[in-house]
Structures are given as C-alpha cells and as structure tokens.
Amino acid sequence: MQQTVPSKGALSGLLVLDLSRILAGPTCTQILGDLGAEVIKIERPGRGDDTRGWGPPFLKNADGEETAESAYYLSSNRNKESVAVDLASEEGQGLIRRLAAKADILVENFKVGDLKRRGLDYETLKEINPKLIYCSISGFGQTGPYSHRAGYDFLIQGMGGIMSLTGFDDEDGGTQTKCGVGIADVMCGMYATVSILAAVHHRHQTGEGQYIDISLLDAQVSWLINQGVAHLVSGEIPGRLGNGHPTIVPYETFPGADGPFILAVGNDGQFQKFCDVAGAPDLATDPLFSKNAGRVRNRKTLVPKIRRLTIEREAADWIRDLEAAGVPCGPVNDLGQVFTDPQVLARAMKINLPHPVSGSVDLIGSPIKMEKTPIDYRKAPPVLGADTQDVLKRHLEMSDSEIAELVERGILDLGKATPAKGN
C-alpha cells in the first residue's frame, strides 16, 4: 500500500470518486488528482481497469519480469488510490453509496442506464448528497438515438469527422487515418475536467451540486474547429491534405536531403524570409505567391517548387538557417527524441515516481504550470486494490474484521504483494 500523502494543490480538500476506466474518464480524474484532489479509483476485484491488460509493454519488476501494470494504464492513473469493489453485489453498491455521500465529485463512464440499475445514478445519489457533482462520460451522450451504443476512440474519430481530414489524399496514395493516440478520449476527458471545475465554482456560489453529461462524439465534433466552421460557412466538404494546412501555405513537412523537417510559414513576411534563405527571392515577389491567399489557391504549383529547393540541403541546416532568420520551423521527432529534448526536459514533461513493483517508473508530466499551487505528483498509478483497506478505514471507519469478511466473500480485493504477469 502506498501511503496517502496530503496535497497542497489547488484542488486539495476535494474528494473524487472515480468509477471510470479506459482513457477519457481516467484522463479527467488524473488531471483533478494532479491539481490536488484526492481521487479514489474504483476497480473490479481481480481484473481492475480494462487497460491494465492492454499491452505489451508492461512494467517490469526488480527481476526484469513483466507485471500486470501496462504502460497504457500507467499513462492516466497517477495520483489515485485503487479500491477494488464488486459493483455487482449489493454490499459493494452500498459501499459506493457511502463513499458518494462524502464525495465532492463522481466521474463515471458506464453504459447509459447501467449505474441506475445498481442504485448508483445521479438521481439516487443526489438524495444522499445534494452537493455532489456527478459527471457521466459516454460515447454518445445520455440522450439521442445513439445513446445506447458503446463508444471507443477509434469509432468516434471516424464518426466525428477527424479521420476524413487526416491522411494524404487519394491521388497521393493516402486514405482516411486516425490520430496516432486516443485524442478523442483525451479531449473528452479535458472537456469533462473543465465542466467539473465550472460546477465546483457554481457550487461555491450556490451550494448546489449538478449533473454533467459529456460525450466523446460531442467533444470530437467540437474540436473540428476551423475545418468544421469552414464547412458550415461554405457548404464544401474539406479533403485530406496530408501534413498540409487548409488555409496557410507553406505549412507542412518538406524533404531535406537526409529527412523531413517542418516549415510553418504563418504570414507573408515569413514567406519573404524563407525565400531569401532558400535563395529564391523571386518566389516572394511572384503575384501568384506573394500573398497567403494566392499561395493557398496555387499550392499545387508552389509546394513542388519548394520541395525542389529543400531537398538540396540537410534538414538540420534548414532548421538552423531558418530559425536564425525568424522563420518557424522544426524537426519531426520520434518519441525517443521527444523525451531527450532539452526543452521537454527543462519543462519537466518527463517525470519519475517511486513504484512499489518496479522501484520507480518514468511518466509524462503535466503541462499545467501554476505559480501558487503547482502540480503535485504524490504517487504513481496504484497497483490494483492497493488502497482498499486504507480508504475504507479512513473514509468509512470500517474495521479490519468488516473488511476481512468482505474480502473473504470476494466483494473486496486488497491487492497482491506481487502483481500477476501481464500475459
């Protein structure tokens, strides 16, 4: 059991009951935990969060053996306490109601109606705790014709339109492509976090809790941003542009002699500077290319011209000279390069926390930098059930014998000293 360390973060004193799993909900609750809230993660005895088994890779113990701690699970579950409770049992449901009576926030991502059948829905729990902020995260929301459907990130990326904008055009041998990470889940989790914090502020003013309905599809449609509004304004269906930008040119990857680099020209002045560095000042004065609107309309003529220029020099040379001239540019880093980048390291975006299985574990840091209440990394993602006894004794004043009896009946899981192997 990892010791519970009091937080001094911005949300210290708030108690979050986390009934979510996979990525959207855990992303939300990890942010709340990073900001100082106490987060109690409710998991299934013996199995836990689905993502514990989503590997390899799995964390290795001191002997180099794979454990049950997948990298996927580790990505979104720090600053939480794992309590393993059987929600199918009446006793387990009763324990959750008792915890909900003390909680400030509850986050769940069960299928619509599942928790109502167990007496753990908002309407039931608000009678116990009127100040409770209850956030439901689902694939399609609590209303509408798709509300009963299960939603996964890949499915939502397709249905929400982002895949139709991602990838190279058919004529370039491309196809619709999902983002390389579960961005629909992550963005949904962030919208959930914003909503919860707004509800906390409302409660400060009124004393009222409230219900929050957040869906992956809604979140995905929301962050279509400029492309979505461009369609609504023009009626046109945007196509795939590979690494290009729909309304800025040149703004994509270009080939150096040894590999690609990014050129991100945001205005006409920067284009002039690029052309000077490239030894092609005539491009900047050409009436077809001198203004961004012209460059966008004539991208199929201009981009090949630029590619013929950039291929003559190595990417690092372009980056050095363009940076010196004030032209935005940069490398296309793999993840090994990202996590050794001096800027990434200087900003503490790679962190290391003690872990009961491996000794320590490297994790991605939080991008939130706050002066008065900095992010608080109190504990690594917990082993399944590691905090069950501590949380129930501390918050519900349960005795060791009461807990032991529920463990014996399989309603609680106190975790294992050595987690099972990931396979």
**What six digits make up the tokens of 301?**
């003529």
Closest CA relative to residue 115, chosen from 101, 102, 129, 125: 125
Give the CA count within 13 Å in the CB-facing half-sphere of 249. 26
DSSP classification of residue 318: H
Give the CA count within 13 Å in the CB-facing half-sphere of 329. 27
Query: If you write DSSP's letter for every residue of 172-188 in order, what string do you get?
Result: GT------SS-HHHHHH
Measured CA angle at 106 (ends 365, 377), to 5 deg? 20
Asked if 344 and 294 count as a contact pair (C-beta separation under 8 A), the reply is no
Query: If you write DSSP's letter for every residue of 194-218 in order, what string do you get?
Result: HHHHHHHHHHHHHS--EEEEEEHHH
Q: In angstroms, rounded to a whole number, what is the distance separating the alpha carbons of residues 267 and 251? A: 10
Closest CA relative to residue 104, chosen from 414, 395, 380: 395
Asked if 134 and 103 count as a contact pair (C-beta separation under 8 A), the reply is no
Closest CA relative to residue 44, chosen from 401, 418, 388: 388
Closest CA relative to residue 414, chosen from 97, 41, 82: 82
86 is catalytic: no
DSSP classification of residue 366: P
Catalytic residue from among 49, 121, 185, 376: 185
Asked if 136 and 214 count as a contact pair (C-beta separation under 8 A), the reply is yes
Closest CA relative to residue 103, chosen from 77, 85, 126: 126
Give the CA count within 13 Å in the CB-facing half-sphere of 114. 16
Q: Which residues are known to be catalytic?
A: 185
